[in-house]
């Protein structure tokens, strides 16, 4: 089983003003002369973490990471004005122009897979290859699966889901995302924090194949929880700003792009059917279903992703520093 590459630090960081409101944190790691790769984080709203740099051989890749609007070190924190899928797609092109990159590999997991597909379909020419993990296509059943009463996740993680449910009064539970949104968008910062922690405890604690349902979720930090919960509720209640089945409908725009799809068989956040549906529409892509949950840190997921990035470095003849 392949493991993550050793920890590294950025060799350069940037602040990129993308409009009158938002300024993005962008970082470059690895080999400045290597194969360019763009990492797209999940959430939305989660931001990048140091371990995200480690899916790529730093001797062979020029690794570009950025915090999406309102996430991580980008400012303003948790800001949702002018924050849509298509704003983020435009930001990716701005970053590519800033860095003078002609073509790059695009790597995205969970919400990052959604954004990677949307970007590639809008701008196929700069995309040399795609590595996608934990597929989320933004379709109504996927949006309801984890957050609404008629979804299925409550039958699999009942302890966490009960806490998520208990936060909302019974009379509002018919539309859980809307009920949470009213609190996440409250003028009272304490209400926003409490709602965010309740939301993030449910999702952030359900990512790994093996876990304790009573331990805090991965977004235990309040600032992270607020940006994730607000952004997710905002995007979900707008159907992630996509037309119905848009990402499957427009797959013809990217059929010629080499792609690897990695998905955990026991992914409860983004059920494996989404990956199977994507692969059925895109038979040229390689689909790898592995014994794992949703988390990119699950060992089988790490193995598949690092194998994919190593294979691309060999394929495209990336030099070693």
- Classify residue 284: in a domain, yes or no: yes
- Classify residue 158: in a domain, yes or no: yes
This model's pTM is above 0.75: yes
Q: List the structure tokens of 139.
A: 């379709």
Distance CA 13, CA 28 (A): 6
44 CB-side CA count, 13 A: 29
- Classify residue 183: in a domain, yes or no: yes
Whether residues 44 and 116 share a domain: the answer is: yes
Whether residues 291 and 215 share a domain: the answer is: no
Whether residues 123 and 264 share a domain: the answer is: yes
Whether residues 127 and 246 share a domain: the answer is: yes
Q: Is the dihedral of CA 186, 89, 66, 281 positive or negative?
A: positive
The answer to whether residues 144 and 151 touch, using CB atoms and an 8 Å cutoff, is yes
* pLDDT recorded at residue 214: 73
- Classify residue 189: in a domain, yes or no: yes
- Classify residue 110: in a domain, yes or no: yes
Mean confidence (pLDDT) of the chain: 94
- Classify residue 108: in a domain, yes or no: yes
Query: Which of the listed residues 209, 239, 269 is the one where a domain comes to its end?
Result: 239
Distance CA 249, CA 116 (A): 15
Whether residues 22 and 108 share a domain: the answer is: yes
The answer to whether residues 184 and 230 touch, using CB atoms and an 8 Å cutoff, is yes
245-260 average pLDDT score: 98
**Residue from 199, 195, 231 nearest 67 by CA:** 231
Whether residues 287 and 191 share a domain: the answer is: no
Write out pLDDT tens, residues 93-115: 999 999 999 999 999 999 999 99
Question: Are β-strands 35-40 and 23-30 bridged in parallel, bridged antiparallel, or unpaired?
Answer: unpaired
- Classify residue 202: in a domain, yes or no: yes
Query: Which of the listed residues 239, 268, 297 is the one where a domain comes to its end?
Result: 239
- Where are the extended beta strands (E) located within 235-318? 259-264, 286-290
- What phi and psi values does residue 133 have, to the nearest 5 degrees? -135, 140
Write out pLDDT tens, residues 2-56: 999 999 999 999 999 999 999 999 999 999 999 999 999 999 999 999 999 999 9
The answer to whether residues 128 and 259 touch, using CB atoms and an 8 Å cutoff, is no
Whether residues 235 and 248 share a domain: the answer is: no
Active-site residue numbers?
110, 267, 294
- Classify residue 1: in a domain, yes or no: no
Query: How many structural domains does the chain have?
Result: 2
Distance CA 69, CA 296 (A): 22
Domain extent at residue 178: 143-239
User: ∠ CA(76), CA(78), CA(82), 5° rounding?
Assistant: 75
Whether residues 135 and 160 share a domain: the answer is: no
Write out pLDDT tens, residues 195-221: 999 998 888 778 888 877 777 665 557
Task: Report which DSSP code applies to 172.
Answer: G
Question: Are β-strands 61-66 and 23-30 bridged in parallel, bridged antiparallel, or unpaired?
Answer: antiparallel
Query: Which of the listed residues 201, 220, 239 is the one where a domain comes to its end?
Result: 239
Residue 278 CA, chain-centre distance (Å), reads 17
Whether residues 215 and 246 share a domain: the answer is: no
**Domain CATH number, residue 19:** 3.40.50.1820
Write out pLDDT tens, residues 143-192: 999 999 999 989 988 988 999 999 999 999 999 999 999 999 999 999 99
Whether residues 223 and 134 share a domain: the answer is: no
Whether residues 19 and 128 share a domain: the answer is: yes
* pLDDT recorded at residue 57: 98
Whether residues 47 and 93 share a domain: the answer is: yes
Beta-carbon contacts of residue 133 (< 8 Å; ≥ 6 apart): 108, 109, 110, 112, 113, 261, 262, 263, 296, 301, 304, 305
User: ∠ CA(33), CA(39), CA(257), 5° rounding?
Assistant: 85
Task: Report which DSSP code applies to 75.
Answer: B
Distance CA 26, CA 6 (A): 20
* pLDDT recorded at residue 82: 98
Distance CA 226, CA 67 (A): 15
**Residue from 314, 273, 258, 279 nearest 106 by CA:** 258
- Where are the extended beta strands (E) located within 18-113? 23-30, 35-40, 61-66, 104-109
Distance CA 252, CA 120 (A): 11
């Amino acid at each position: 089983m392949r493991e993550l590459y050793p920890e590294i630090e950025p060799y350069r960081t940037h602040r990129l003003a993308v409009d009158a409101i938002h300024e993005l944190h962008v970082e470059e790691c690895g080999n400045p002369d290597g194969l360019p790769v763009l990492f797209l984080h999940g959430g939305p709203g989660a931001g990048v973490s140091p371990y995200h740099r480690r899916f790529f051989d730093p001797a062979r890749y020029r690794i570009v990471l950025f915090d999406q609007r309102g996430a991580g070190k980008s400012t303003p924190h948790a800001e949702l004005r002018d924050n849509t899928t298509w704003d983020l797609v435009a930001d990716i092109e701005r970053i590519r122009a800033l860095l003078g990159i002609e073509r790059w590999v695009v790597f995205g997991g969970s919400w990052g897979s959604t954004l990677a597909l949307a970007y590639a379909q809008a701008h196929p020419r700069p995309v040399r290859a795609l590595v996608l993990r934990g597929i989320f296509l933004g379709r109504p059943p996927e949006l309801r699966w984890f957050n609404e009463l008629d979804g299925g996740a409550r039958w699999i993680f009942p302890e966490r889901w009960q806490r998520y449910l208990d936060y909302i009064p019974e009379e509002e539970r018919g539309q859980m995302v809307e009920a949470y949104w009213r609190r996440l968008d409250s003028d009272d910062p304490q209400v926003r924090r409490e709602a965010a922690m309740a939301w993030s405890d449910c999702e952030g604690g359900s990512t790994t194949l093996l876990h304790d349902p009573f331990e805090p979720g991965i977004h235990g930090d309040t600032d992270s929880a607020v940006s994730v919960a607000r952004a997710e509720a905002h995007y979900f209640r707008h159907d992630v700003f996509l037309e119905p089945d848009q990402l499957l409908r427009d797959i013809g725009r990217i059929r010629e792009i080499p792609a690897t799809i990695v998905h955990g068989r026991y992914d409860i956040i983004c059920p494996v059917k989404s990956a199977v549906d994507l692969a059925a529409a895109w038979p040229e892509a390689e689909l790898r279903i592995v014994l794992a949950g949703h988390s990119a840190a699950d060992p089988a997921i790490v193995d598949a992703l690092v194998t994919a990035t190593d294979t691309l470095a060999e394929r495209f003849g990336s030099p070693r520093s």
